Structure 1
Amino acid sequence: MNLVWQRFTLSYLPLKQYLTTSYLHRFLVGLLSSWRQGSILMQWGDTIAAALLSLVYGLAPFVSTTLIGLLLTGCVGFWLLLTLSDEAAPGNLASVTPIHLLVLLYWAVAATATALSPVKKAAINDLATLTLYLLLFVLCARVLRSPRIRSWMIVLYLHVSLIVSIYGMRQWFFGAPPLATWVDQESSFAKTTRVYSYLGNPNLLAGYLLPAVVFSLVAVFVWQGWIKKALALTMFVVNTACLILTFSRGGWIGLVVALLIVMGLLVYWWSIEMPPFWRTWSLPIILGGLIGVLLLAVIFVEPVRLRVVSIFADRKDSSNNFRRNVWDAVFEMIRDRPIIGIGPGHGSFNKIYPLYQHPRYTALSAYSILLEVTVETGFIGLAAFLWLLIVTFNTAFLQMQRLRKLRRNDGFWLIGAIATMAGMLAHGTVDTVFYRPEVNSVWWLVVGLIASYYTYTPQDQSQEGNSHLAPAP
């Protein structure tokens, strides 16, 4: 059973040998290597790539999606230049991981769905957008292999998110006019301020801040010195408070899931040093304390109680009723094109959804990651996406175990990455913000962070030595 799991998760796939013998890899990588050797600017290739990524993540909450798209295009163009001018050296082969293969598979399924889409023009445009995000992941996975750049990107995102959170807290204290009908105006919750900061949408703000909450928490254990730890703790408190004050139910669900997982993994990390009593009871005590705090908040804080109760109100809550009607239409769309879907992206969705929508329930997406993937790329795409998630989580856990044995503190970033992905998925299961640039770019940064830790294991090397593969195409 263990061998089946290892093969399913591509844990010991001999990628290095395949790439060494691949004609395609040898032809493309290093095509411009002689030019790069004579270029002074390209000697700083990874640093320039990190600067481009810094523009994306430093400006994302404050600028238009059009500018974000232009920055992503610049990142992808520079990645292509880096790849073509790379040296085809064995050290560069480690930058390709099992996660890359599953990302490529998912893109291939999306490209097939585009070719078979009933609205090809819209699907082609959205496939181009999807390609930008997937190649953003590839660039992140490459440059984040440098511990210095990895640390810089995390610090940058946390400081930007702190600015966003501080402005959100200001809205809470001084008031902020709603930019849309976020809540049912007939409910007792209607007069409660929902902060949205620079992002213009409380649900989107919650999705953007969720990774910041988790990474600022684990930064308390990674950053050295009391001043840095105090800064990380301040970030955690402010980000958490701002996320809570969005009153985004999906954001709250994601926050609870992420905190439960990060606490469980922290206990696992320290369990080898714990006395027997704490090794057994620390996790139940922590979980019980967290559940107790949540119950107290529900009992004594009226806005929290109203939002939590509304989760279980089914169609009596206007937001729930809206999602249920959208999901009913989406199920019909999936029923009509279950294998390969309608094509990727909101453009394809907006062309097809009006044919199925219930009156007065317009929507830009399926309000659920899994439903969105299924309606866009069918059950084949859903299978590829779930496989990608499983391989990514498995890779993160294996690398976390490796760093745990070495007692390296940067393994906490992997704990944060695992918890962040789980929380974002939980939030995205009931909301539509996952595909917005501010959130989707952070998602692929986290996936790239996990891929950047990937290393070939002794099992890989032994398999490479025992395999006799023909030259790959």
Structure 2
Amino acid sequence: MTTLTVILIVAGLLYLICAVLDLRLALALFCALLPTYLLRFALPLPFGPLDALPSTLLEVFFWILFLTWLLVGRQPKKKPKGTAAVNAVTDHDLRRWMPGLVLLILGASIGVLIAPNIISALGLWRAYFLEPVLFFFLFTDLVREARTRRMVLAALGLTLAIVGLVAIIQKLTGWWIPNPVWRDEATRRVTGFYGFPNGIGLMAAPITILMAAWTVDLIRKVRYWRDSIWPLLTGTSALLGILAILFAVSEGAMLGIAAGLLTYGLLSRSIRKYTLIGLIFVFVLILIYTPLRNYTSLMLSMRDDSWQVRKIVWSESIDMIGDRPVFGAGLSGYSDALPTYHLARHIEIFQYPHNMLLNFWTETGLIGLVGFLALLWSFFISTGTTIRRRPDEWLPIALFAAMIAVLIHGLVDVPYFKNDLAFLFWILIGLAASLRLSVETKKKK
């Protein structure tokens, strides 16, 4: 028995015990364990077209959580004490997400059928669509109270803090950075657990927004010294997230963080004036500090090398989509479909087109892209309605801002097509649905 097998068995058994004893705690723990998708293995199969089924430790945790919920943990449909109205609200609230969800799954399923490698496409379909969507239903069933939402947020903040600590160690020492160029002190870019710098930014940006917003809210509620413990913890997590992104030199994540923090500051009535003052200060600093002005000009004009590469990749991707606008290239089909359109031979063919919308279009076709946009529409309508009805509550504004950070980062990268990122996207959707449900439930009562 290998060491990996022992780890899988022990971790799986411990997580099963946790799920049986406290399903909500297991859900929060799952959110903290998103990076465990990096621990990969293959399950031997006795029959079928494959000798083994590729999987991850995160996937093991998901199926333990999902099956435990399905068998013993689901909330009853009929509740005592006249809560039928709550159930009706639950059903109605989930219906608002169904058009986008169904279209996304349909587009991804068609993407499997037209993919050049159906076996590989099925693996992506399972990890990026089936499991996260099932997780969404589990999440909205279990996360109905503020306490459970706080558990989920605390779990995400813990993971962010650990990633930030690893990033600081890597920045100081160069340890565990796989690429010698990134490891070199003069050009050092930290990678965390992920093996590449942007992996940190993709995960850290939305969670950092949530932690920063939570910190602001907790600081407002401090009355005694003991009340400062939680804002100290969440603020440390947010700071570590920002440092991790800076040390990774993830410019897309930096843009996302800036846009997200600005969105939160402008929408939050308690800090709006401070945000405007800070915005004026930043503009003045850009004007008077030459290196910062030059860097800003370079980024906005898209003249640096990374922008040039991305513009070429986008142009070639659009040419490819132009010949297959309805169904795209299929799941995992981008790198197979692009060579015909790839004229810039000095640039490698990437796995994805480094743009979120183009990525969904190439992988899931127009149907999946429309589904994704419909989900975003439902998300912003849901959080926007909650903000209007409860303008002093921090979480709906923070979720709105976190999704803005994801989308801004998604202009130059793909904050979805990784195991952890797909789940993180649906955690944001699930939290929005949970908040909306609590608003509607209070109205019914």
TM-score norm. by structure 2 comes to 0.76
Match for residue 334 of structure 2?
349
Is the contact between residue 161 and residue 209 of structure 1 (CA under 8 Å) also seen in structure 2?
yes
Match for residue 67 of structure 2?
77
How far 1:457 sits from its partner (Å)? 4.6
Letter in 1 for 2:22: T
Deviates more, 1:119-128 or 1:418-427: 119-128
Letter in 1 for 2:112: T
Match for residue 106 of structure 2?
108
Match status 1:195 vs 2:186:
no
Q: In structure 2, what is the Cα distance between the partners aligned to 1:320 and 1:365?
A: 15
TM-score norm. by structure 1 comes to 0.72
Match for residue 236 of structure 1?
238
The 5-angstrom pairing of residues 247-396 of structure 1 reads 247-267=249-269, 270=270, 283=272, 286-290=275-279, 292-293=281-282, 296=285, 300=289, 308=296, 310-312=298-300, 314=302, 317-344=304-331, 347-358=332-343, 359=345, 360-396=347-383
Give the match's secondary structure for 1:417. helix
Is the contact between residue 46 and residue 143 of structure 1 (CA under 8 Å) also seen in structure 2?
no
Give the match's secondary structure for 2:329. coil
The 5-angstrom pairing of residues 57-96 of structure 1 reads 57-58=32-33, 60=35, 63-64=38-39, 66-81=56-71, 86-88=76-78, 90=84, 91-96=86-91
Is the contact between residue 209 and residue 401 of structure 2 (CA under 8 Å) also seen in structure 1?
yes
The 5-angstrom pairing of residues 35-50 of structure 1 reads 47-48=22-23, 50=25
Q: 1:173 to 1:295 in 2, by over 3 A?
A: farther
Match for residue 54 of structure 1?
29
Is the contact between residue 253 and residue 427 of structure 1 (CA under 8 Å) also seen in structure 2?
yes
1:214 corresponds to which of 184, 209, 218: 209
Q: In structure 2, what is the Cα distance between the partners aligned to 1:149 and 1:388?
A: 23
Q: In structure 1, what is the Cα distance between the partners aligned to 2:425 and 2:105?
A: 16
Q: In structure 2, what is the Cα distance between the partners aligned to 1:115 and 1:312?
A: 40
Match status 1:429 vs 2:411:
yes
Higher RCO (CA 8 Å, separation ≥ 6 residues): 1
Letter in 2 for 1:70: V
Match for residue 146 of structure 1?
145
How far 1:76 sits from its partner (Å)? 3.6
Letter in 1 for 2:402: T
Q: 1:124 to 1:196 in 2, by over 3 A?
A: closer
Give the match's secondary structure for 2:281. helix
How far 1:133 sits from its partner (Å)? 1.5
How far 1:313 sits from its partner (Å)? 6.0
CA-based RMSD of the aligned residues comes to 3.5
Deviations 1:178-210 (A, max 9, x none): 533878x9xxxx923222223332211112121
Is the contact between residue 209 and residue 239 of structure 1 (CA under 8 Å) also seen in structure 2?
yes
Deviates more, 1:318-327 or 1:288-297: 288-297
The 5-angstrom pairing of residues 119-130 of structure 1 reads 119-129=117-127, 130=129
Gaps of 5+ in 1: 1-40, 271-281, 462-473
Identical amino acids, percent of aligned pairs:
23
Q: In structure 2, what is the Cα distance between the partners aligned to 1:298 and 1:127?
A: 48
Q: In structure 2, what is the Cα distance between the partners aligned to 1:320 and 1:178?
A: 24
How far 1:168 sits from its partner (Å)? 1.3
Q: In structure 1, what is the Cα distance between the partners aligned to 2:311 and 2:402?
A: 26
Q: In structure 1, what is the Cα distance between the partners aligned to 2:286 and 2:174?
A: 22
How far 1:283 sits from its partner (Å)? 4.2
Is the contact between residue 326 and residue 361 of structure 1 (CA under 8 Å) also seen in structure 2?
no
Q: 1:55 to 1:294 in 2, by over 3 A?
A: farther
Residue correspondences, number: 394
Gaps of 5+ in 2: 1-15, 41-55, 222-226
Letter in 1 for 2:135: L
Letter in 2 for 1:68: L
Match for residue 179 of structure 1?
178
How far 1:392 sits from its partner (Å)? 0.8
How far 1:119 sits from its partner (Å)? 4.8
Letter in 2 for 1:151: R
How far 1:387 sits from its partner (Å)? 1.7
Q: In structure 2, what is the Cα distance between the partners aligned to 1:95 and 1:372?
A: 32
Match for residue 35 of structure 1?
none
Match status 1:205 vs 2:200:
yes
How far 1:453 sits from its partner (Å)? 1.6
How far 1:312 sits from its partner (Å)? 4.5
Letter in 1 for 2:157: L
Give the match's secondary structure for 1:196. coil
Match for residue 20 of structure 1?
none
Deviations 1:56-110 (A, max 9, x none): 5235268425222332333343444358884455344443421244223321232
Q: In structure 1, what is the Cα distance between the partners aligned to 2:170 and 2:370?
A: 42
Q: In structure 2, what is the Cα distance between the partners aligned to 1:431 and 1:104?
A: 25
Q: 1:164 to 1:85 in 2, by over 3 A?
A: closer
How far 1:127 sits from its partner (Å)? 2.0
Letter in 1 for 2:165: I
Q: In structure 2, what is the Cα distance between the partners aligned to 1:399 and 1:422?
A: 16
Give the match's secondary structure for 2:416. helix
How far 1:247 sits from its partner (Å)? 1.6
Is the contact between residue 61 and residue 198 of structure 1 (CA under 8 Å) also seen in structure 2?
no
Q: In structure 1, what is the Cα distance between the partners aligned to 2:29 and 2:228?
A: 26
Q: In structure 2, what is the Cα distance between the partners aligned to 1:237 and 1:297?
A: 23
Deviations 1:373-416 (A, max 9, x none): 11123333322221210111110121233333xx5xxx311111
Give the match's secondary structure for 2:363. helix
Match for residue 134 of structure 1?
133
Letter in 2 for 1:248: S
